[in-house]
Amino acid sequence: MSAEPGQYPFSIAIAASCEWRIQTDASWADVAPGSGQGNATPVLKVQQNTRLDSRTATVTVKNVPFRVTQNRPTCSYTVDPTSLDQEAGGGNVQIRLTTRDWCPWTATASESWIRVLTPSGTGSATISVDLDRNSGSLRRGFLTIAGLRVDVIQRGS
């Protein structure tokens, strides 16, 4: 099942006179109703998975265990801006990275005149980058932030 929170109905087909009880062994999963008699369509409710791996729970229906697996979450990233066009004077630049709270990231520079001051973290962040002064001609480089490329152009003096 998805890493997102959700509700998953399932069917119990049993004689009308038979009672049943359902329980789970995980705090992130719950079933309602938890007991009844005869045919029913209970709903398994799961919370969002914020771990970096999948997780499993056992749902026991009338003493019969069923394992359910919730997928690991996927991390997606966006950066703003996606390119920098800077003057020769250099200085500090801020890049906004947006992602989920638990998603890890790293930031690196392709050139020594670009210094990443915030090289790694978890969740959304403002990444600080320092550019050296450029006394030569126009130069180009790039940053790699959470696998995304941010092109850097710096004008010469």
Q: How do the domains of the chain map onto residue ranges?
A: 6-70, 78-154
What pTM did the predictor assign?
A: 0.69
Chain mean position to CA 56? 18
Query: Could you tell me the strand order of the sheet in which 125-131 lies?
Result: 78-80, 91-98, 125-131, 114-116
Q: Could you tell me which residues come within 8 angstroms of residue 27 by beta carbon, excluding any fewer than 6 positions away?
A: none
Q: Same fold for the domain at 6-70 and the one at 78-154?
A: yes
For 6-70, which CATH class? mainly beta
CATH T-level assignment (fold) for domain 78-154: Immunoglobulin-like (2.60.40)
pLDDT in tens, 87-143: 999 999 999 999 998 899 999 999 999 999 999 999 999 999 999 999 999 999 999
